[in-house]
Amino acid sequence: MTAYKKVNTICPYCGTGCVIECTVDTEHNRIIEAKGSPDGVNNEGRLCLKGLYGWDYLNDPQILTRRIQQPMIRKGGKTSPLQEVSWDEAIRYTADRLNAIIKEFGPDSIMGAGSARGPGNEAGYITQKFMRACVGTNNVDHCARICHGASVTGLLGVIGEGAMSLSVPEIEDAEVIFNIGYNAAVSHPLVARRIVRAKKKGCKIICVDPRKTETARIADIFLAIKGGTNMLLLNAMANVIISEGLTDTDFIRQHTKDFQVYADEIAAYTPESVAAETHLQPADIRKAARLFASSKHTVTLWGMGITQFSQGVECVAACANLSLLTGNFGHYATGVGPVRGQNNVQGTCDMGLLPNTYPGYQEVTDARVRNKFEKAWHVSLSPNPGLPLTQVPEKVLREPDPKKRIHAYYIVGEDPAQSDPNLPEIRETLSKIDFVVVQDIFRNKTCEYADVVLPATAWGEHEGVYTSCDRRFQRVHKLLEPQRGCKKDWEIQCLVAAAMGYPMHYDNTEQIWNEMIALAPKFAGATYEKMEMNKGIQWPCYSTDPADKGTPYLHKGGTFATADGKGHFQFFPYTPVQEKEDPQYPLSFCTVREVGHYSVRTMTGNCRLLRTLADEPGYIAMNPADCESLHLKRGELVRVISRRGSTITRCLPTERVSSGATYMTYQWWIGACNELTNDKLDPKSHTPEYKYCACRVEKIENQHSAEQFIQDQYKNIRTRMGIREGGRTHE
């Protein structure tokens, strides 16, 4: 008789934090079903496609790439093949190379990237402790940099806390939802459900997006904004709210600072003055501003359509200003929702995988805090903030002083060779760094530049805690025995640290967690026990007292997390995007997501059901009129070219997209849109402008040979990833 067990755990994909009930066949070490658990506060028993069918990759079906099951080293230098070695040899080799680089160039010549995906918070804590205490640098970062980094920086300035101020379930009790640059139906389907439920309860929806998304379709006001002009609209809405006397004057007086300076500057941004550039009607901007100000339950939700711009941080501040103006902070069902993308990107920030903060958002420059960590970790720590990961290319390719260059990059669970902008430059960077370590569950594109590859256990193969987008710490549980040869992420980095001369030892994740919460006052009360008892705990949670069950919404009563407790209005003028359309590159180019696949696709691309939804080389969405003028037909292969590179994909004519604009998704390896994207950064958060550059689309006359090229490329990738033709694909 086959033995089954049922285990509740957290979905490994988006930041909604859905609780999944998995049925596991323990005899064959396989998950056989996943269902939504009613214990999930944010999902209430439901799941999207990825939650339901996104676990197939665990058993290594070898569709796109394969699980790594043994450490590998390039013994003969950069150009030699990766060879399987023992764990002992791989750890020793990694430790010796890192120590040699520290000796020659100092600890700041090493960069570390942590993972916002499977490993969890305990492993994240170990990654930053490894970089700070063992290597001796604050050069540690993760994908929040290229994602919601702008939200964190922007909100810190205005209200002192970078996270969602409300909880996901509160969204359905909003009276007005201001949805800007956020496509919940694709990115967070179980957040989208709350938006739909809000609508059914009578909520009015404003959607701002250059594309007609699903939210746009149900919106009361849809502002089809010209890409890259968010600041003009946000300032014009503030202008209407102030000039028409729609502000909450009591709230502004009691809870904010610098209103008058802000109001004086905003006076210039009339709706009429921004109409031409935003492609919006002044009357529609006025309608949106009035609706925004009409309620004390206005919830602002934003995503990458705000943050992935060179003016991301300032647009985040502009969003927060609107809530300050209208008293939309500090009570139930109101506030700001930068809805964090990855299942544990909130957690990876919480754990201090950032160049400027220790766990719990404590600054590395604060001597008192640093002292506390030095005592706990028995080392002296660097007082200098580290390097943001988007500056690695600069520090490898263009730094004249060898002592100041990056010489080693230790990458845990990220795939910069697929997900970073301007891939031609990333490839050059990764080829030129002396030593690259990749610690992952799959062979990914970055492995091709790795000197060492270390195989980690995946979600479902280890214990831990993830933080959902709304600050909820939730336990994830082991479902299966790990694939042979893999070790836990935290265990691997403890072994490397010990081999480098800084012993770290833990028996389990709870020991790591308890060390972390003892050092981070914001999380001090969030014990494993309390998480189990309360369906998770939302931080801040200061006390271990069972009565402290954490904090569903922030800034209660209008007391903000800034030093003086006030919200600080900040005015910023509009700065245009860094690269605009021109005669050579006449179309705008934006990159977004699609529902069935996830980020670099190592996981969803290896799930049998999900991969049938969409496959290489993806598509470019264009307005039908533009397709017609270029003589392009639906499904035909086209070449897309920017100043940085080119790629090949299929043409998708759609009325959802305005004429002159194009969109690709970033999940494809052959149709890789990051060959084209611009690596220009927001100067404050160092987030790249993935959402806007210029391109041209070219017809390919010989479709037959282009189709053959795609087939050959696919075969080639799979071979490079170590899959034998006719391998396990069709099992």
Ligand X SMILES: Nc1nc2c(c(=O)[nH]1)N[C@H]1C(S)=C(S)[C@@H](COP(=O)(O)OP(=O)(O)OC[C@H]3O[C@@H](n4cnc5c(=O)[nH]c(N)nc54)[C@H](O)[C@@H]3O)O[C@H]1N2
What is the C-alpha to C-alpha distance for residues 217 and 221, in angstroms, rounded to an integer?
10
From ligand SF4, Mo ion, ligand X, none, interface partner of 500 (C-beta below 5 to 8 A by class) = none
What span, in angstroms and rounded, lies between the C-alpha atoms of 474 and 537?
7
Tell me: does residue 186 bind ligand SF4 (CB under 6 A).
no
Residue nearest to ligand SF4 (CB): 51
341 touches Mo ion (CB under 5 A):
yes
Nearer Cβ to ligand X, position 527 or 685?
Answer: 685
Residue in 9, 11, 239, 459 binding ligand SF4, rule: CB under 6 A? 11
Alpha helices per DSSP H over 116-256: 121-129, 149-159, 184-187, 189-200, 214-218, 230-243, 249-255
C-beta of 119: minimal distance to ligand X in Å?
4
Nearer to Mo ion, 345 or 621 (CB): 345
211: number of Cβ within 10 Å: 19
**Smallest separation (angstroms) from ligand SF4 to the CB of 54:** 7
Q: Which of 714, 705, 699 is nearest to 616 (CA)?
A: 714
Contact 303, 236 (CB under 8 A): no
Query: What is the β-pairing status of strands 452-455 and 435-440?
Result: parallel
As a whole number of angstroms, the distance between CA 377 and CA 340 comes to 30
**Binding window for ligand SF4 (CB under 6 A); candidates: 10-18, 206-214, 230-238, 394-402:** 10-18
Of 577, 571, 569, which is closest to residue 278 (Cα–Cα)? 577
CA pair distance 200, 693, nearest whole angstrom: 38
The size of the interface with ligand SF4 (CB under 6 A), counted in residues, is 14
Q: Is residue 114 near Mo ion by the rule CB under 5 A?
A: no
Closest approach, Cβ 14 to ligand SF4, in A, equals: 3
- Using CA atoms, how far residue 174 sits from 17, 94, 217, 666, in Å, is 20, 52, 18, 32
Of 54-62, 155-163, 338-346, 675-683: span binding Mo ion (CB under 5 A): 338-346
Alpha helices in 556-699 (DSSP H): 608-611, 624-629
My answer on whether omega of the bond before 416 falls inside 30° of 0, hence cis, is: no
Nearest distance, CB of residue 343 and ligand SF4, angstroms: 7
Residues near 30 by beta carbon (within 8 Å), at least 6 away in sequence: 24, 59, 480
Question: Choosing among ligand SF4, Mo ion, ligand X, none, which partner's interface includes residue 459 (Cβ < 5 to 8 Å by kind)?
Answer: ligand X
The alpha carbon of 98 is separated from its chain's Cα centroid by a whole number of angstroms, namely: 28
Q: Which residue is nearest to Mo ion (CB)?
A: 341
- At closest approach, how far in Å is the CB of 261 from ligand X? 26
| Both tokens assigned to 236 | 């014009």
Residues 374/394, Cβ–Cβ less than 8 Å: no
* Residues making contact with ligand X (CB under 6 A): 14, 115, 117-119, 143, 146-147, 180-183, 186-188, 208-211, 213, 225, 227-228, 230, 303-305, 308, 341-342, 412-415, 419, 439-442, 444, 456, 458-459, 489, 590-593, 595, 597-600, 602, 666, 673-674, 677, 690-691
Among 22, 31, 47, 318, contact with ligand SF4 (rule: CB under 6 A):
47
Among 85, 147, 163, 238, binds Mo ion (CB under 5 A): 147
In angstroms, rounded to a whole number, what is the distance separating the alpha carbons of residues 254 and 330? 13
Contact with ligand SF4 (CB under 6 A): which of 31, 37, 41, 50?
50
Instruction: Pick one of ligand X, Mo ion, ligand SF4, none as the site partner of residue 190 (Cβ within 5 to 8 A by kind).
Output: ligand SF4
Query: Where do contacts with ligand SF4 occur on this chain (CB under 6 A)?
Result: 11, 13-14, 16-18, 43, 47-48, 50-51, 188-190
Query: Where do contacts with Mo ion occur on this chain (CB under 5 A)?
Result: 147, 341
